[in-house]
Amino acid sequence: MGDPHGIGPEVLLKSLQHLLPGRSIKPIIFGAQGYLSELYASLNLDFDWKDLKLFDVGSLPYPPSWGLVGTNSGKVALNSLRSAILYCRDQQHPLLVTAPVSKEALHLAGFSDPGQTEYVGSFFKSSDATMVFLSEPLKILLVTVHIALRNVFQELTIERIVTKCNLFLQALVKLGIEQPRIAVCGLNPHASESGLFGTEEAEVIVPAMRQLERTAVSGSFSGPYPADTVFARTVAGEFDGVVAHYHDQGLIPLKMVAFDSAVNTTLGLPIVRTSPDHGTAFDIAGKGIADPGSMIAAVEWGIKLTTNQADD
């Protein structure tokens, strides 16, 4: 359900309005039942509310304190998330879709992880939680995620790059790209200009790519390319996916071209987790104007990944 003071519950219900007609999907909702039923009525939606399977995780007055960070709203969001993860883990349910949360509210409620990706991964013994963003114009892997920029240099290792790139390759194949062409960014300006601006390319990124080239059974990796040009080349069709080494290296270009349609995906788990690539949008919460496009895409990309995963 996400944070009830933001647009998460709204885009959740609006996405069901779009997805349920003519589809065989049977969504299971984790959230505050009374709040959601009131929100459903206020949005004038017309899908059959009684057909939903809903796990009630806590109470919250409606209308809530729209747009405000709150301890109780953080608790509801955290209880929703925890309950959904445990259900997927224990019932072997293949797909978890999470609505946007406020990290500040989660921390008020006792949350201590850097983000939802790390939190979801903590529930699985064999976890290498890996963040990938999916959209039609760009598909991007982040090698490191929620860490300070100064720590990227220590966290960027050959093993980390290889492991996460293999997960990315497998995901692209599951999405129907038989021979993915994956471009790898350099870390430094101009991909270090042959060592003039740093040694990470020669010492870490290139050795990782050589190892990937030896072991990949399909697709290809190339680079490292200067990050200021490779995303435009990918949008133009030269590559199927891009490996970015830190958060903003990948997300700035993604949000320039696919802000309303990109989907945050967690790979490396026994389940697939997806989420819209936007936040709680506290500034428009409660106005009924939130665009559900990214939430719809999160469900649809998730179905693609889990359906093909089941076929494997």
Residue 252 and residue 274 share a domain: no
Residue 186 and residue 120 share a domain: no
Q: Would you say residue 162 lies in a domain?
A: yes
Q: Assign residue 178 the CATH number of its domain.
A: 3.40.718.10
Measured between alpha carbons, how far is 278 from 24 in angstroms, rounded to an integer?
Answer: 27
Q: Would you say residue 131 lies in a domain?
A: no
Residue 98 and residue 31 share a domain: yes
State the pairing for strand pair 139-142/241-244. parallel
**How many separate domains does the chain show?**
2
Residue 287 and residue 195 share a domain: no
198 Ramachandran zone, left/alpha/beta (phi>0; psi -120 to 50): left
Instruction: Name the residue among 192, 202, 188, 180 with its Cα closest to residue 132.
Output: 180
Q: Which two tokens stand for residue 148?
A: 């300070």
Using CA atoms, how far residue 29 sits from 117, 226, 229, 279, in Å, is 19, 43, 41, 19
Residue 275 and residue 252 share a domain: no
Residue 163 and residue 103 share a domain: no
Q: Domain of residue 292: give its range.
A: 1-125+270-312
Measured between alpha carbons, how far is 174 from 151 in angstroms, rounded to an integer?
Answer: 32
What's the pLDDT tens digit per position in 215-248? 877 889 999 999 999 999 999 999 999 999 999 9
Give the chain's residues under pLDDT 70.
Answer: 308-312
Summary count for the chain: helices (H), strands (E): 12, 10
What's the pLDDT tens digit per position in 249-267? 999 999 999 987 899 999 9
Percentage of residues in the chain having pLDDT higher than 90 = 81
